[in-house]
Structure 1
Amino acid sequence: KKMAPALLLLSLAAVFTTVAPAKVCGRPRVSDGVDVSSMKRVFEIGEDVTLSCEQGYSPSTATPPRITCTATGEWTPANLACSPRMCQIPRPLQPFAKGRTEAPFKSVLNFSCDDGYVMVGANESRCLHDGTWSHPPPLCKGVNCPLPKPPREGRIVHDKAVTGTSTIYGQGWTYECNPPKAPSYERGSCMADGSATEPPVCRDVSCSIPPRIANGVITFAVMRQHSYKEKVKYSCLEPYTLEGEAEIQCQNTGNWSSKPVCRAPCEVGIKRGRIFYNGRKIWIEDLRPNRVLHGEHVAFYCKNKAEKCGYPVASTCNDGNLPIPDCYEQPGKIEYNLRSKNLPSEIRMCVAPPTANPTSPPNPA
């Protein structure tokens, strides 16, 4: 009776020994592109698996490698890399591919057309396993609009010759009314939604007496109200310079187009020195009158003291203001009259001027 517990323990040990599971291998861990679709979930020790690449991938080795389930439950190394097949990006689309000329298997190209164009073809294309695209690039065809209707008391002048009964997106035209009437708006076009601009209304329009401009006069015009598209011309008094269009026109809104401005000349604000103006060097006292016109350029001579050479710095007359470069140093009377050969304008010119030359008002001598 005392031996019974020992026998029970031995029998239990025997039970546990017989049901202990054997080592097995799970499905091998492989890199992207390796075909695992036909693999089992569990493999016995010593079982082999031949690895291959999925459709659309190329193997790194010529011979398909084999891996084996070892007694430790691990697989032998898998020396296989699968690279995706590449599709050549269509040449017209390469400028949009950020320098790339190829796309890998499973890539998708999405296409769209600009406003005013409709797509003819597929709106996407996929890189297939054989290195081709599922669809060719589509075409973007301009939207068609019906021919525009002219105003009741006028006509249409097309920018380009039109044939048939329709026009294409982006094409434009001008509306004209029978004189002296003016259209409520002058331009029309074929729009992105396939519709043409509705015709304007022709109406009587006049502009007020032409405005005067400072330091200028109106030429070839009677001081009266003017009708649509009538013009007047301006000129400036000496020595002012006209900026803008010399002629202004009465517009369909009843307003004049932008009038010009007369810009003032500039005085060269130095007492002593030599400048470069109108293609030649001039001593300032020989500039008579001391005046340059608006928009004209004047070069002042500065000195690079380290290199002992001179260099010109340009300045532009802007409506009465001619900035003097900061680097310009006005010479004293003795230096100017007795040692003028040492002035920056007279010594050797520098090969290259300094990188920056700010301008500011001149310092008094």
Structure 2
Amino acid sequence: MQLPLILLFLQLWGNVEVSLSQNACPNLPVVPHAHVSAVTKKAVYQQGNIAHFVCETGYTSFPPTKYACTENGWSLISRGRCHLKPCVLPDDTPNGYYQIISGEEFVFGTTVQYFCNEGYHMVSKDDTRTCTLDKWTNHVPICEPLSCDPPPAVGGVIVKGLPDNDDPILPDRLLKFSCEGPGKYVNGSSVLRCGQDGQWNHPFPTCENETKQEEGCRLNCDSAPSDCGTPPHLADGDTKGTLKSQYTHGERVEYVCQNYYTMEGDPFQTCNNGEWTGQTRCLKPCTVDRELMNRHNIAFRYGYQDKLYIAHLDWIEFICTKGRRTGTLLMRPQCIDGVVNLPTCQ
């Protein structure tokens, strides 16, 4: 009597297993960048079970993705798409700017790099920030003004143009040097400019004694100073006023540079006992046109000109027209005497 009951029970249990097997959903749906939540995860899914998908770290979805197991397989309840989690815009830094150097447009994993404006330098240790789950890494970098060292206090040297109250000497400030008392002359450039890199464009001049011959001539000695002929030609520049064929000792002429050219040194040449003395030079501008930018896949960040002239020591900023910046050149190069190294995007 017991044996038939046991056989009947085994037959009924087998039918239940077959029924469960037939009702199970064998394979989970594939949801990119997502996995089944721990609460709804099962070894075997039967009719009526719900699978709730959760996005991977750094991704977000609304609405969430849900599937239901039915007799015909998995049925979609709500469809979402896991996309990279957006970040709030990174903070700007005063006197500077940032550019994306890695990742998508302000989403999880994106890295930005900060740069300082012309005339400023970065004093922060880290210049990059990365978008994480809930914030940007690192603090906003700080850009402080560049400044040039003040000239040394040397007796007999007169300096004009220094800032008041010992304020910093900022880029583009000009200092003019002269000598105190008779019998002295400026040895070096009499006009110095503080550069954008915080360096002077010439060494500081000194005051030297004039030669014995010049001193004797001022005392009406027998050897009178010689006159000078036409002043020397200045490349990419010209003289002011009408030229003469002969200049007496001590006379001077003033030079100007062509448009967009930058003068380096003293704008004057002086007749000194038959010779013209003075350091004058015109530094070339840089030219960037549309054809050149197209070869590098870049464009002006500000403005829409097809051609631009950039003066010596000036900066110009570009953006990529396609792709991303390659190589080590920054998107903000400087013009140095007619040469500007352009970045490339690919």
Is the pair's TM-score, using the shorter chain for normalization, greater than 0.5?
no
Superposition TM-score, scaled by structure 2 size: 0.43
- Structure showing greater Rg: 1
